[in-house]
Every structure is written in C-alpha cells, then in structure tokens.
Chain A
Amino acid sequence: MLKFVVKKILFIIPVLWIVASVTFFLIRVVPGGPFDSQRNLPKAIVANLKAKYKLDKPIWEQYFFYLKRLSHLDLGISYKYTNRTVNEILVQAFPVSAVLGIGALSLAVTLGVLIGVISAVNQGKFIDFALMTLATAGISVPTFVFGILLMYVFGLKLQILPIGLWESPYHAILPIITLSLAPLANIARLSRSSVLDNLTKDHVLVARSFGISESRILIIHVLRNSLIPILTILGPMTAMLLTGSFVVEYIFAIPGMGRFFITAVSNRDYDLVIGTTLVFAVVLLLSNTIIDILYRIVDKRILRQT
C-alpha cells in the first residue's frame, strides 16, 4: 500500500513537468503577444517591456529560465495585472474556486447517490421513471443554459438571490447548484445501475433469507459495494467540475481560477496561463491519487491483488 502511494505521488512530478512544457510552447505558438493589444506603443517601450519579462531571449533560454524558477515554486509575474505575481493571484483565486468545487461536489455526491438509490429501490415504478428522465435531462442541459435559467428565475423574476459576484455566502448558492447539475445527474444514473447490480447478488439473497430487514440490507450489504463504481467516476467528475467551473465563473462573474484563466488566455498572459494550468493539473492529479487510495481501502479485493 505504502509503495503504491509513493509511486502514485512520484508519478505526479514528471506529469507536471510535461504539462508545464506543453502549455509553455503551445501558448507561445499562438499568434499575438502579450503587448499587442496596447495599440500605438512605441517600439522602444515594447522592446523594454519584453526585456523586462525576458521575452526577447530565444525560446529555449526562456524555457530553461521558466523551469528554473518553477523548481522554486515561483510561477512568474503577470503581464496584465502589473506588479502582481502569479502566485499572489492564484492564492487569491484558488480558495474561491475551491469553495465552489467542493460545494458542488458534496451536493452532487449526496443528492446523486440518494436519487440513484431511491430510483433503484423503486425500479419500474413511476418515481424511478420520473427521476431517471430528470437525470437524463440533467446531463443534456449545457451548464451555461442551466446557470442562466437559475439566474433568470431566482435573480431576475423572484429576486431572492444575487445573480453574480462573490461577496456573501448567498452569492455561492446559484453557482454551486449550477456547477453540481451535470455531476449530480451522472452520479444518479450510475448509482442506480450500480445498486440494481448489487441487489441481485447472492449475498443479498442470503441476507434476505435470514429475514434481515430491507432497509438494513440496503444500507449495509448493498450500498457499500455500490459505492465502488461511484468512487471510480469521481476522478472524471473532478475534471468535469473543473471544466464546469470555467463556465460558471464566467457567467456569474466570480473571481476564481477559471475566470483568470480565460482572461489570461485572451491577454496572452503567458505565465498566468501556465500557472493556472499547473494548479488545475495538481488538483486533478491529487484528487485522482486520493480516489485511487480510497478505492483500495473500500474494496479489499483490489488490495489483495496488488
């Protein structure tokens, strides 16, 4: 087990290096530079700016300079938010996105599993049909459409919740609900089929023949095994949440990582783009590692194999 954890964590470092390099070269291949949008800038000033940020050097030199700095966990300087380092910006933006993501994930898992279990227990009945139709609809709504729908109904028509910005806990409600919709629907569909699978297993039949109550069978004998497939999709789910957070932060004007990333890309703010990408990659890699470990704890069968 320990060997496995160490191996997984050691795997993260080369991956991060590859991610940083790919992003570094990709963003530099893109036409347009960081100072192109400021029109009529005298050539001498542009040259000075480039020299200040070491953009006048050959690309290989820039690359090794970036890697050297990165090894000290220094992500560089933003070109647009003058005098702010990328680290400063990310330290501010990350907690916002984290609250959003963790909120949405917990909502999606609790409600999703609940809906899936209710559906599975009532298989074939109307409530199952209704819930699963809703879940299929849930994975078919684009995040931005759902977000705007919520804004329109709760913000503009009923006027009970704020429709943007990030100031009080109330501001988090609509974004979190928006962000959680797609993962929630996915988890509901998956947990339904997973519970159904487990309900027909032999050990459930045995438990039933012993006269154990249905609710006890469901909670103790079925649910635990059904959680394994749900754990496996939590990895892709985290990726989905990260992708969703771009859109949600864009619609609700939330100063999180996704919003900074989008503006950084259109501004060609090289260091900020790579910095944000790296943080996203770290989050995704770490969550995948944690899920892998949890997976082994919940399902003892895998542990025995390795």
Chain B
Amino acid sequence: MNSILQSMLIKRITNTLGCKIALVILFFITIVSVLSWLNISLTPFNYDSTSDMILAGPSLIHPFGTDNLGRDLLSRVIYGSRLSLLIGYTVAVMAGVIGSVYGAIAGYFEGIFDTVLMAIIDVIYCLPDLLVMLLLGLVLGKGSLGILISLSLITWMGVARIVRANFIQLKNEDFVTMAKALGANDFYIMFRHIFPNSLSSLLVSLFITIPQAILAESTLSFIGLGLQAPQCSWGTLASDGLSCLRTHPNLLFFPAFCIFITVLSLNIFGDNLRDALDPKIKI
C-alpha cells in the first residue's frame, strides 16, 4: 500500500515534461560535481602560460575556453560547482534544522514565548538580507564555512514561519488531544505526532531554500564580499569573468549559465513538488 502511494506521489511530482528535464539536469550536475571529488583528470589550477593558451576561445581541448592564466574554464566550472552546490544543499539542511526546531517550539507553546520568538524574527526581517549576510560574513570570516553559517542564519526564518503555522494548526487536531489524554508528553507529541504531519510543507520550503542559497552565495561572491581566491565557486568565476567581458564574454557566460540552469531546475522541481505535496501553499 505504502509503495503504491509512493509511486503515485513520484508520478505526480514528475508529471510535466519540464520537471523531468529539470530533474535530469539536476542529476547530471550533481553527479559531475560529486565525481569531481575523485579528481578525474581535472585541471582547475594547472596553467599553460604559452601565449596562445591565455584567454583562448572555446575549442575541442578547452570546450569553455581558458582564463587569463591559461587555466581550463570547464575544469574550473566543475571545480566551482562543488562549493556552489555544497553551500546550496548544506544551507538548506541547516536552515531546515534550525527553522523546524525554532518554529516547532514557537508554534507548540504559543503565549508569551511565541510572541518573543516571533518578534526576534520580525526584527531580523527588518534588515535587508544582503546587509545581514555581509556583516555576519565579516564576523565569521570569508571562508566557505563563514559564508555557509551566515547564509544559514538568514534563511532559517522562512522555514521557521512555515513550521510554526503548521504546528499551530495541527496542535488543535483531535489526534493530538487524544495523545495528550493518553498521557504523552510534549516532546513526544511534537516529534511523533505533529512533526511528521508538517513534513511535506517543510520539504517544500527546503526546496525553495536551495536555489535562494545558491543565488545568495553567487551574488555575495560576485560583489567580492563572499568567497575569496583560491576558493572558487560559480559566483567567483563570474566575478573574474566580468573584467574581460568586452573581449571574452565566454568567461562570464559559462559560470553564469551554470548558476541559471541549476537554479531554474531547482525552482521548477520545487514548484512541482509544492503542487504535488501541498496544493494549499502559494508560492
């Protein structure tokens, strides 16, 4: 029975052509990125400074061309995908954990506790994201870990709001009253009864967070306040490419296109997931 439901759900999620294509692209990009850890003839740092290999256009040996040091751009884009994707996925997971715990506590206990917790979120919402990320990023350092933590600290609030709304709605349901009457304690009710029921909207909000995190990281790196060389992500690659936009637009185009296609696929998949799991949620 369960497996039939599961296969029906998967069919509902992937019922459009766009979503199938998006999934294939996501799968491909993730696999390439993961496989690159095995370092199969990848040369992101090897450079060939002979004059004809600097800023060479796309060719058979260098499909995306080479950069100003003669480094192969395809290798660098694949190498950059590691950090871009890792940051995107990890931030979503961290935001999910922080957000659901915070939202669960606020939603379940309500009263003054809830008011204070929500007021904190309201205050943080009064600041533009980028501003908070910049300040936090500076405090935590410009390494990938600093970016990761500061992005997580920004994105968890959306998740917390959704989980809280779910908890408020669900805790008045009959099955919760029943569990209470049978003597279950608060934590048991929260994590065994209410949490599984809010899992679908949590999943949806997580899949909205991934593309947001990827976009935010690339934007920060692009304006030079995110990752720093020698670390490399699609954002830093695009930033490097900007300086030779006039003569060699391919240096900017390929990393930017990678960001775009990944985020687009994630958004399409997220939309379908939302429609399939939780038709009530609007964008």
| Cβ < 8 Å to B, chain A residues 125-149 | 133, 136-137, 139-145, 148
Question: B18, B127, B138: which contacts A281 (Cβ < 8 A)?
Answer: B127
Q: Is residue A62 within 8 Å, beta carbon to beta carbon, of the partner chain? A: no
Q: Is residue A19 within 8 Å, beta carbon to beta carbon, of the partner chain? A: yes
Q: Which residues of A contact B282 (CB under 8 A)?
A: 190, 193-194, 229
Q: Is residue B242 within 8 Å, beta carbon to beta carbon, of the partner chain? A: yes
The docked-state distance in angstroms from the alpha carbon of A277 to that of B211 is 26
Looking at the assembled complex, report how far the CB atom of A110 sits from the nearest CB atom of chain B, in whole angstroms.
19
Determine if B242 and A148 form an interchain contact, defined as CB atoms under 8 angstroms apart: yes
Given A140-B260, A280-B128, A284-B127, verify A26-B135 contact (CB < 8 Å): yes
Looking at the assembled complex, report how far the CB atom of A273 sits from the nearest CB atom of chain B, in whole angstroms.
8
| Cβ < 8 Å to B, chain A residues 189-209 | 189-190, 193-194
Question: B130, B134, B256: which contacts A142 (Cβ < 8 A)?
Answer: B256
Determine if B218 and A18 form an interchain contact, defined as CB atoms under 8 angstroms apart: no
Determine if B223 and A261 form an interchain contact, defined as CB atoms under 8 angstroms apart: no
Determine if A193 and B242 form an interchain contact, defined as CB atoms under 8 angstroms apart: no
Residue interface mask A25-47, B partner, CB < 8 A = 1:
01101100000000000000000
| Cβ < 8 Å to B, chain A residues 264-279 | 265-266, 277
Q: Is residue B190 within 8 Å, beta carbon to beta carbon, of the partner chain? A: no
Determine if A284 and B267 form an interchain contact, defined as CB atoms under 8 angstroms apart: no
Contact size range, A? 35 or more
Question: B139, B225, B264, B266: which contacts A262 (Cβ < 8 A)?
Answer: B225
Looking at the assembled complex, report how far the CB atom of B88 sits from the nearest CB atom of chain A, in whole angstroms.
13
Q: Is residue B215 within 8 Å, beta carbon to beta carbon, of the partner chain? A: yes
Q: Is residue A173 within 8 Å, beta carbon to beta carbon, of the partner chain? A: no
Determine if B283 and A265 form an interchain contact, defined as CB atoms under 8 angstroms apart: no
Q: Is residue B199 within 8 Å, beta carbon to beta carbon, of the partner chain? A: no
Determine if A239 and B125 form an interchain contact, defined as CB atoms under 8 angstroms apart: yes
Determine if A142 and B219 form an interchain contact, defined as CB atoms under 8 angstroms apart: yes
The docked-state distance in angstroms from the alpha carbon of A151 to that of B256 is 15
Q: Which residues of B contact A285 (CB under 8 A)?
A: 126
Q: Is residue A99 within 8 Å, beta carbon to beta carbon, of the partner chain? A: no
Determine if B139 and A30 form an interchain contact, defined as CB atoms under 8 angstroms apart: yes
Residue of A nearest to B141 (CB): A31
Question: B128, B131, B215, B264: which contacts A136 (Cβ < 8 A)?
Answer: B264
Determine if A140 and B211 form an interchain contact, defined as CB atoms under 8 angstroms apart: yes
Given contact pairs A140-B264, A142-B256, A194-B282, enumerate 8 new A-B contacts (beta carbons under 8 Å).
A141-B263, A144-B218, A144-B219, A145-B238, A151-B245, A229-B282, A239-B129, A242-B130
19 A-B contacts, Cβ less than 8 Å apart?
Answer: A26-B138, A30-B139, A137-B260, A140-B260, A140-B264, A142-B260, A144-B238, A148-B245, A148-B252, A156-B246, A186-B283, A190-B283, A246-B131, A261-B134, A265-B134, A265-B135, A266-B225, A277-B127, A280-B128
Q: Shortest 9 CB-CB distances between A and B: which pairs? A: A140-B264, A242-B128, A140-B263, A145-B256, A30-B138, A243-B130, A26-B135, A243-B128, A144-B222
